[in-house]
Copies of this chain bind each other. A is one copy, B any other.
Amino acid sequence: MWAAGARRPGLVLAALAALGLALEALVARRRRPVREVLFFPSRPSCTEALLAEAASPDDTPGPCPCPLPHGDCAFSRLLRHLLSARRSLELCLFAFSSPQLGRAVCLLHHRGVRVRVVTDAQYMALKGSQIGLLRHAGIQVRHDQESGFMHHKFAIVDRKMLITGSLNWTTEAIQNNRENILIMEDAEYVQPFLEEFERIWEIYDPLKYMFFSKENQ
């Protein structure tokens, strides 16, 4: 065996690489699911490095000269979990006006993550709303046309991580309100939210919008 390996080093390396990948997949499947609770208001913290790293993973950003603290905080943890998306991101948000979270979602879209957004028709016109920017970037957005509010505030990362709570994605809520979010990978909680998203996504299909009465058509 060893003699054959010595004669074919390429084969041995390929086998080792395959073994490494298999082990990595096993570890990933066996790792403890994320279970985190974050409370707000978040203390102010610079998130520039996190966003820069997500935009250019190969570049090491230099030290940030801004006067804000640069440590971990509730908001940076939220951002980090969001930026971990590799394949898909479902957002179901009553109000979305945080510029940093808007940038993060656009980054994910540009990175090839399939982003879908559901929001509230009245609150998407909120001052500083990120919805126009998301649409401009080419992200699919759908909204309600109901009298009640689309009041959910949840995100689903890669169909396996749920981020949900009282927090609207606004700077005001992040910096000034008492809020909570749960970040969880328990399938029992994630699955119903995924189904709720798909249900709402279909109900809010633009083909079903009724802004113009039949008489005007």
Contact = CB atoms under 8 A, between A and B. Distances in A.
Interface of A: 35, 37, 39, 41, 94, 144, 146-154, 164-167, 172-173, 175-180, 182, 184, 186, 188-189, 192-193, 196, 200
B182 A189 contact: yes
A165 B193 CA distance: 12
B41 A178 contact: no
Contacts of A150: 177-178
Given A35-B186, A37-B188, 15 more contacts: A37-B189, A39-B192, A41-B148, A94-B166, A147-B176, A148-B175, A149-B176, A149-B177, A150-B177, A151-B167, A151-B173, A151-B177, A165-B165, A178-B200, A180-B196
25 contacts: A35-B188, A37-B192, A37-B193, A39-B192, A39-B196, A144-B178, A146-B176, A148-B172, A148-B177, A148-B178, A149-B173, A150-B177, A151-B166, A151-B177, A151-B179, A152-B166, A152-B180, A154-B180, A165-B165, A165-B166, A166-B166, A178-B200, A180-B193, A180-B196, A186-B186
A7 to B, nearest CB: 53
A42 to B, nearest CB: 12
B180 A164 contact: yes
A125 B153 CA distance: 25
Contacts of A147: 176
A176 to B, nearest CB: 3
B179 A152 contact: yes
A192 B39 CA distance: 9
B151 A189 contact: no
Query: Among A39, A147, A151, A193, which residue has the most Cβ atoms of chain B within 10 A?
Result: A151
